[in-house]
Amino acid sequence: MKVFEDLKKKLNRKPEIKDKKTDSAKQNNSSKKNINDIPKEIMNKLPPGVKIKRIVIGPKQIIKTIISIVIFFWLLSLLGGFLTPQNLSSVPISTLIESVKKGEVEKIVVSDDNVVANLKDGKIMVASKETSISMTEILQKENVDWNTLGLQIENRQGWKMMGEILSVVLSIGIPLLLILWLFSKQSGGAGGGGVFGFGKSTAKLFIKGKQNLSFKDVAGVEEAKNDLVEIVDFLKHPEKYQKMGARAPRGVLLVGPAGVGKTLLAKAVAGEANVPFYSMAGSEFMEMLVGVGASRVRDLFGTAKKAGKAIIFIDEIDAIGRARGGMDGGHGEREQTLNQILVEMDGFEKNTAVVVLAATNRGDLLDPALLRPGRFDRRVVLELPDLEARKEILKIHAKGKPFNEDVNWENVAKGTVGFSGADLENMLNEAAIGAARENNTKITNKDLDNASLKVQLGAEKRRTQTDEDKSLTAYHEAGHAIVNYVEKLDPVSKISIISRGSALGFTLIPPQKDVVHQTKSNLIKRMAMAMGGRAAEDLIFGDITTGASSDISHTTNIARDMVVEWGMSSLGPINFGPQIDMNDWGKAYMEPARISDKMQGLVDKEIKKFVTEAFEEAKKVLEKNKDKLEKVAKALMEKESLDQEEFEELVK
């Protein structure tokens, strides 16, 4: 019965009817969309009545063409098999001669080395002869009078030569075309003009309306925004600045660590400006042929100058703007490209409003000639966001995500000290992913905490550990927390013996506020807190483990900076670092002078003194608070993680 019911449903199903008008409308819309992609300058120059047809040649089209050719020749071979006469047989030349002697052959046709004999009974024989001997000579040797036969000689040397030429063209031409196509894709494809457009710029043109970002979408970098707002306003209203005798800055250099919003600011400029905005990465100028980068620079600046008002954005300019010469002997292609940029930025006419934006996180590597006024007039330094900036950034990236009502953005911002704008966006995204994975309808504080830990330390790992390993990790992390509590540093946010990233456990102590200056006493306390884990191992187990390696490294780095950079040791306020002559970007102009071996020994002695005292202080604190250490460690072994409230309840 089920079979009949299924059959009945199929018979009663209405046939799908495609609306030809709808299909044609879709095709017209797609064709219009393709035409709209063509710049208006090109469209305006076309004569009236000219129709534009887009031809796409890519890997898919090439594969389809090859498959079509293979199918065509396969069908052709099948057709040849059907058209071949059934009475045709291929025989040796001796068999054909025997048939001639017997008088069975009516006609012989010789074409090059092929001999075709038509027999009187309607059959056809085909044989091959040697190239060095003619058919008449063969018949004479066999004492056959060829005059009595209908012997016909066909000359196909011309066709044979054309076939050989065609085979050579196909065997060489097709691979050559394929190589040229691959070479053009490698050298920039359509964006760079293909194999014949090495010197063409591959800059992306951002069009007003297609770029949705604006200055409202950028937070935490107000000073940089103000500088760029002036640039955009100058390009929109140049006359009010010209009345005051001002000129547009030739270039603005954005310098800062990764993730602080340099590229985001440039995209916001593209959204705000009503002028052409050309974007290009520094590495896109480089090519394997020397001189290509310089040619692309000329093409990029030439295109921008033709527009009258334009903005050029070069991301990661350190790829081509590094100081020339140096210990590595320089790089010919990069130096030629840099030289061309210097020439182009000097060659701006007074009435040309072309501004160059550039971004880098290594301002110290750039060539001094690139940084002088008249080229990059403004240098905007972006830093990691402070508390208020983090709150503004979180508000922007929280749009479009459903958060629970009890989420306290003030606490989230306080717990993300040291996060860049990109880190904050990544944290919110990880929180959204975690909430979706748990099938929650809203993002909670727990999701945000887990996401913050994942961004800082890595994903959670449930490693198989013995009770001894858990005990070691628990006392180690409890040692950090107890010393931190007694020394009255920033409150402990979370302690855990669950592995994350490369750490077997962690003690999270986020700063309560953004710190600008560090005192000597505070640094000594922080070193003691860092050595609390090693001190706890020594105190409880009478032995030490390799788990304190990162703590020792962190403590040693603080001690070294106190002695070498900050003058906080008994050696006095002297900088024992490399003595170099530097410019304002920290670039050395001479070989650094080393301190004497005797002084280096004293420096090492002071560093060891600071680290040893930190360890002894931590051990002393833990000996006095051993009962609290035991409580926290046992609670960690039971629960694996403790938050701030649970920890403070245990150590009261």
Active centre residues (catalytic) = 477
Task: Report the candidate in 332, 185, 361 with the shortest Cα–Cα distance to residue 261.
Answer: 361
Copy the structure tokens of residue 170. Answer: 């196909």
Task: Report the candidate in 285, 220, 616 with the shortest Cα–Cα distance to residue 423.
Answer: 220
Q: Angle between the 445-457 and 421-437 helix axes, to the nearest 10 degrees?
A: 120
Largest alpha-carbon pair distance within the chain? 131
The answer to whether the Cα torsion of 633, 635, 640, 642 is positive or negative is negative
CA distance 337 to 294: 4
Taking the alpha carbons at both ends of the chain, their separation in whole angstroms is: 77
The 8 Å CB, 24+ separation contacts for 502-508 are 502/458, 503/457, 503/458, 503/550, 504/463, 504/465, 504/469, 504/473, 504/547, 505/473, 505/474, 505/476, 505/477, 506/457, 506/477, 507/477, 507/480, 507/481, 508/453, 508/456
Q: Residue 361 gets which letter from DSSP?
A: S
The amino acid present at 140, given as its one-letter code, is Q
CA distance 615 to 618: 5
Copy the structure tokens of residue 227. Answer: 């500088």
Copy the structure tokens of residue 208. Answer: 């007003």
> Any bridge partners for residue 495, and if so which?
507, 642
- Given a contact cutoff of 8 angstroms between Cβ atoms, the answer to whether 556 and 607 are in contact is yes
